[in-house]
Structure 1
Amino acid sequence: MLILFLLFAVLPIAEIMLLIQVSDNIGGWNTFFIVVFSAFIGAFFVKREGLNTLRQVQQKSAKGELPGKEISEGLLLLVAGVLLVTPGFITDIVGLLFTLPFTRGPIAAFLVKQFVAHQAKGGARAQFHFYQQDSYKGGAQSGQKEHENGDIIDAEYQDKTPNDEKDRLQ
């Protein structure tokens, strides 16, 4: 909750204060052009690094490896793109840190470690309830089963029941 407060209340105020301070020192138009220029440069870097990350994901996937590191870095690049396009110097600095490969890797590793530790403590539990019901919709081999809550689960399966038992059940 504190993080959200800092993100949505304190950060914009700090950005505005810094923009005013910089514009007092170098002028309003110069500040404006620096902010717009940083957005263009940031978009260029995010696009370039994003394509490199996508290429790495494709290479690892082709080898049959799980591209976990690359996916987490790709998410950081997505956040970096938003931060770099957002007007302000603080967001530009954080976005640049998320964009550069030599800082993005350690940040991604730290965030993944924090996420795993949070999951181990039971932070975001997903509970799945499957209700048993005898009736199938759409025929015996359709693979769809309607549950009490109206959800339909679609699955492929192979019936391995022996033939003599199948005849007895029908």
Structure 2
Amino acid sequence: MIFLIIYLFLEVMITVDIASLIGGWWTFVEIIVSAGVGFFIISTFKYTLADGMSMLVNGHISIDEFKKMSLFTLLGAVLLIIPGFFSDILGILLQFNSVGMFFARKILRLKDKNRKRSDDEAIDAEIIDVDVIE
């Protein structure tokens, strides 16, 4: 929830700053063009998947890299469709595989830290072994 509030705050602040610099007409044009680019990326996503699958079959990338690459390309396209300059900047950055892998490493590192914290908690229990005599 806090990330959504931070995102919305940054989106509004950056959009207002850039729109005041370039004007309303160019802001409108940017929103339309970035949405068009986002829809174009989604419409050609099947070719991106085909390229990724061929790289996977040839052993150039692992299955995890393939999933991350596909996910971040699609997420970047959706962010381009959402109006606003901050989402457009993130959407463009996510089209580059190196940026997507950077975000994936950060997310996985946070996930591993949380998992280690939960694994450190010991459960105090007593086990009673009873033999049944017949």
Structure 1 pair 61/109, CA: closer, same or farther in 2 (3 Å)?
A: farther
Which of structures 1 and 2 has the larger relative contact order (alpha carbons within 8 angstroms, sep 6+)? 2
Identity of aligned residues (%): 22
Aligned pair partner of 1:5 in 2, 7, 12: 2
Q: Which has the higher helix share?
A: 2
1:25 partnered with 2:21: yes
One-letter code of the match for 1:34? Answer: E
Q: Which runs of 5+ in 1 are unaligned?
A: 124-170
Gaps (5+ residues) in structure 2?
120-134
The answer for the alignment partner of 2:130 in structure 1 is none
Superposed counterparts of 1:1-170, under 5 Å? 4-7=1-4, 9-45=5-41, 48=44, 51-57=47-53, 60=56, 67-122=63-118
SS in 1 for 2:86: helix
Secondary structure of the structure 2 residue equivalent to 1:87: coil
User: What amino acid maps onto 1:70 in structure 2?
Assistant: F
Structure having the higher Rg:
1
Matching residue of 2:126: none
What is the aligned length?
118
CA RMSD of aligned residues (A): 3.1
Q: How far did residue 58 of structure 1 move?
A: 5.5
Deviations 1:121-145 (A, max 9, x none): 448xxxxxxxxxxxxxxxxxxxxxx
Q: Which amino acid aligns with 1:115?
A: K
Separation of aligned partners in 2, 1:118 and 1:79: 24
